[in-house]
Amino acid sequence: MSLKDFNKKAYSKLSLRTAISSAVFTTLLAAGLLWIVTDYFWQQILLMAACLFMISFLVVYAVSDRLHKERLKQLNKIVKNMSRKKFDDYDSDLSQSSDELDMLIHRTVKASDSVNKELSRLNKIENYRKEFIGDISHELKTPIFAIQGFIETLLNGAVHDDKVNELFLKKAMRNVNRLIFLTNDLMEISRLETGEMKSNIKDMYLRDVILDVVETLQYKAQKEDIEIHVKDFDKNIQVKADRNQIKQILTNLIENGMKYNKPGGYVEIGITDYKKAKEKLMLYVKDTGIGIDKKDLNRVTERFFRVDKSRSREKGGTGLGLAIVKHIVEAHGEKLFIESQSEVGSTFSITLTRSNNILV
């Protein structure tokens, strides 16, 4: 028997079985009583029993069929749709007088909703993964092809020309460095996006961390003719955050402030009050750089988005810095704000939660 036939017959089979068993039971009980209590002949009792059997069979069959059939059909439809990965919006509100079958329908609808949600979640992850792999291979191609080109030229004879030789090796090295930055940032972002990297949130001194990061970037700043300035604020201010991740945020933002700036430019780091919540403060990194056009402002935190690809590449950018910042800020339950004006400069601010601990 095919599943289709089985389904059709199954709706009536249940009613049929219920009707036969209750008719047999009622008839035997009534016939037994008549035999004991009355002095009818057995032929009369047999006739009455046959009539009773027919009546009770028909009544029970009709009632049972009416009670079960539609709901069994509905249940069958939901399960069938599920197996075909179809998930409609079913109505399955339970009333006070609901019976077991209603409960089963209700549970099946809930199961269908959860399977639907889980499938869409998995689809989203799968699409994200495909897109990510596409982006990565695209990003890897550029430096790899560049390195290949330089080596090929050297092998084709340029290796014997000392001037070209050194220049090409330097260029190849710059691309190798780009690959290193890229793999580091990729590892970082995938650990953040898969949730593998957890924030270790503790009370920390904010000024200490800022000065630490600025010190490591000072050499680069001098080379690029940029001045980094930390606005003075209370060194005892503490926030609840992951020290290493705040360092990472500051590094990315200050490096951007230097990269997308002009010689003689300025990067300032400081804190202000956050007006919307007293328990929070704002940490900002402000620059006097090239600024970001209004149309690109919402996109700069997207993975691999760069306003000017060649400028970013030339400065060793991967297009992942701000995406990493955004992830860390969100993992802290904080907010990132970007304000910018073309040719004037940009301010990147993040909220941080103040710690209540008073220091000794």
Ligand X SMILES: Nc1ncnc2c1ncn2[C@@H]1O[C@H](COP(=O)(O)OP(=O)(O)O)[C@@H](O)[C@H]1O
Q: Tell me whether residue 291 or residue 334 sits nearer to ligand X (CB atom).
A: 291
CA 127/CA 12 separation, integer angstroms = 45
Give the three-class secondary structure for 301: coil
- Check binding of 143 to ligand X (CB under 6 A): no
C-beta of residue 35 within 8 angstroms of C-beta of residue 97: no
CA 213/CA 209 separation, integer angstroms = 6
- Check binding of 257 to Mg ion (CB under 5 A): no
Give the binding range for ligand X (CB under 6 A) out of 89-97, 122-130, 219-227, 284-292. 284-292
Cβ-proximal residues to 154 (8 Å cutoff; 6+ apart), any chain: 164, 165, 168, 169
Residues 206-245, mask of contacts with Mg ion (x by CB under 5 A) = ----------------------------------------
In whole angstroms, the minimum distance from the beta carbon of 265 to Mg ion comes to 16
Q: Tell me whether residue 13 or residue 311 sits nearer to Mg ion (CB atom).
A: 311
Q: Tell me whether residue 143 or residue 319 sits nearer to ligand X (CB atom).
A: 319
In whole angstroms, the minimum distance from the beta carbon of 138 to Mg ion comes to 18
CA 255/CA 260 separation, integer angstroms = 9
In whole angstroms, the minimum distance from the beta carbon of 242 to Mg ion comes to 20
260 binds, among Mg ion, ligand X, none (CB under 5 to 8 A by kind): ligand X
Question: What's the chain's length in residues?
Answer: 360
DSSP-assigned states of every residue in 236-295:
T-EEEE-HHHHHHHHHHHHHHHHHTS-TT-EEEEEEEE-TT-TTEEEEEEEE-S----HH
The CA-based dihedral angle spanning residues 85, 88, 94, 98, taken in that order and rounded to the nearest 10 degrees: -70
Single-letter residue type at 323: A
| CA triple 200-205-208, angle to 5 deg | 110
In whole angstroms, the minimum distance from the beta carbon of 209 to ligand X comes to 19
312 binds, among ligand X, Mg ion, none (CB under 5 to 8 A by kind): ligand X
Half-sphere exposure at residue 99, Cβ-oriented, CA atoms within 13 angstroms = 5
User: Please, which of residues 255-274 interact with ligand X by CB under 6 A?
Assistant: 256-257, 259-260
Look at the block and give the residue holding tokens 């060793």: 316
Q: Tell me whether residue 81 or residue 347 sits nearer to ligand X (CB atom).
A: 347
257 binds, among ligand X, Mg ion, none (CB under 5 to 8 A by kind): ligand X
In whole angstroms, the minimum distance from the beta carbon of 98 to ligand X comes to 55
Give the binding range for ligand X (CB under 6 A) out of 42-50, 98-106, 210-218, 251-259. 251-259
251 binds, among Mg ion, ligand X, none (CB under 5 to 8 A by kind): none
Q: Tell me whether residue 310 or residue 356 sits nearer to ligand X (CB atom).
A: 310
DSSP-assigned states of every residue in 42-106:
HHHHHHHHHHHHHHHHHHHHHHHHHHHHHHHHHHHHHHHHHHTT----------TT--HHHHHHH
CA 287/CA 257 separation, integer angstroms = 5
Which of 205, 191, 200 has its CA nearest to residue 242? 200
Contact pick of 321, 323, 345, 353 for Mg ion (by CB under 5 A): 321
List the structure tokens of 320.
């992942």
In whole angstroms, the minimum distance from the beta carbon of 317 to Mg ion comes to 5
User: Please, which of residues 289-318 interact with ligand X by CB under 6 A?
Assistant: 289-292, 300, 305-308, 312, 317-318
Give the binding range for Mg ion (CB under 5 A) out of 107-115, 163-171, 202-210, 314-322. 314-322
- Write out the residues near Mg ion by the rule CB under 5 A: 256, 321
Positions in the binding site for ligand X (CB under 6 A):
252, 256-257, 259-260, 287, 289-292, 300, 305-308, 312, 317-323, 346
